[in-house]
Structure 1
Amino acid sequence: MEVRERILKAAEELFMKFGIRSVTMDEIASELGISKKTIYLHFEDKDAIVHEVATIIMACDQIESNRIYEIAENPIDEVFREIEMFKNHAAALNPVVVYDLKKYYPKTWQLFQQHKQTIFLELAKRNLKEGIEQGLYRSEINIEILSRLRIEEIDFTFDQSIFPHEKFNQFDVQKAFIDHFLRGIVTERGLEIYHKYTKTAQN
């Protein structure tokens, strides 16, 4: 593996485990068994590492979301598969990462917001549109409004002022949001399918 890639991989693992702000360049260097000077040969500063790590994660998430879309049986199945992906991310993610990103790395946070308002939003719109076409979601729902509500719930999950990580598990919060969201838009047929997937997920 190239040195640059090793730096990014080590930094991502440390960020996810301890949060972004608390991880120093010295700690990244120590984790890799290289000098801090070597890191600076590849990256101008920690901000640059954070930005590239975030860019890679978002690109990987987009690829995974597209893969899920291709293999999902229907839009409700797609949502359940996305929940499983979120579960895997949440298990490896220190909740303070989102707080650190928002407060101390505005450039990267803005990149995430742009990604959310374009890529994530289009994914949410597509899911709602196809759910209506397949008779799983109510035809009268407002796609423009509900797609935005859905993606804003992602940030809401990690809001420490509302759901402090000492008291709430982020995956449980997201599951509750999804349950509330889907029950509000499904048809009777959609609800039957939703119950089927819910039972499967619990087994």
Structure 2
Amino acid sequence: MIFIDTILSELLQFFKREGIESHTDEELIRKLDIRQSTFNELFRNRADMVRQVTLFDIEEQKREQVKLLANANSPVEEIMMLLQDGIRKMREINPVYISDMQNNYPEAWGLTMDFVNSNNQHVNADILNRGILQGYFRKDINLQLVTKILLEQFFMMINPMVFPPDRYDLAEVFRSIYLYYVRGICTEVGGKQAEQFFSRHNI
């Protein structure tokens, strides 16, 4: 890992664990154990730092997703693995991180939403299409509509006006939204496979 990637990786972990605004630039410099001059060379300002961390996170998510889906045995398992990974990630992220980005870093939040839109639409549509052809998902589902619903459910989940993070466990919200919906679009064969996956992985 090159130097800048190491720095971005450490910042990403700080942000996800403690939020973006919990530390000043000076505190981050101390935590990173680098010079002020090095920090200034890497980042034009705080917004640029958050933007670079966001782009790094997006590329990491792409790589992780490829590895994750390579271990699936069917489209149902692919959906379940994405669901399980989403639950895990939501549990690991401090809700303050999301609200900090939404409220203070519109460019970074826009990049995140663009990625969620394009990636989820493409990946979910591909998985669902293959699942229909292989008999795991119902043939009568509207592929475009189901893909859109899955995406909008995600946006609803992270909307603090709908699910205030101080009142709701976002990981549990994620689980409640997606698990039951996925069951509903499965055929009998796909549903059995989904149930087996749920019981094996306790999600």
When normalised by structure 1's length, the TM-score is 0.91
Which structure would you say has the larger RCO, counting Cα contacts within 8 Å and 6 or more residues apart? 2
Distance change (3 Å), C-alpha of 1:146 and 1:61: same
1:103, distance to aligned residue in structure 2 (A) = 1.9
> C-alpha separation between the residues in 2 aligned to 1:50 and 1:154?
22
Give me the whole-angstrom Cα distance separating, in 2, the residues matched to 1:77 and 1:147. Answer: 17
Whole-angstrom distance in 2 between the partners of 1:63 and 1:7: 18
- TM-aligned CA deviation for residue 105 of structure 1: 1.1
Aligned 1:148-159 pairs, distance under 5 A: 148-159=148-159
The CA distance in 1 between the partners of 2:10 and 2:24, in whole Å, is: 12
Q: Distance in 1 between matches of 2:170 and 2:130?
A: 28
The match for 2:180 is 180
Unaligned runs of 5+ in 2: none
For 1:76-115, what aligned pairs fall within 5 Å after superposition? 76-115=76-115
Paired amino acid for 1:10: E
Q: Distance in 1 between matches of 2:60 and 2:2?
A: 19
Shift of 1:37: 3.0
Deviations 1:45-90 (A, max 9, x none): 1111111111111111112222222221111111221123223322
Stretches of 4+ moved more than 4 A in 1?
A: none
Mapped contact 1:14–1:23 kept (Cα < 8 A): no
Aligned residue in 2 for 1:17 = 17
Asked if the contact 1:137/1:185 (under 8 Å) is kept, the reply is yes
Pairwise mapping of residues 35-54 of structure 1 onto structure 2 (< 5 A)?
35-54=35-54
Aligned counterparts, 1:154-165, within 5 A:
154-165=154-165
* Equivalent position amino acid for 2:162 in 1: I
What SS does the corresponding residue of 1:44 show, helix, strand or coil?
Answer: coil
Q: AA paired with 1:8?
A: L
Output the CA distance in 2 between the equivalents of 1:185 and 1:22: 42
Instruction: Tell me the number of residue pairs that the alignment of Structure 1 and Structure 2 aligns.
Output: 203
Give the corresponding residue for 1:60.
60
Mapped partners of 2:136, 2:7: distance in 1? 45
Q: Distance in 1 between matches of 2:83 and 2:89?
A: 10
- Structure 2 distance, partners of 1:150, 1:111, is 19
**TM-score, length basis structure 2:** 0.91
CA distance 1:188–1:166, change in 2 (3 Å): same
Structure 1's unaligned 5+ residue stretches are: none
Percent identity for Structure 1 against Structure 2 = 22
Residue 132, structure 1, aligned to residue 132, structure 2: yes
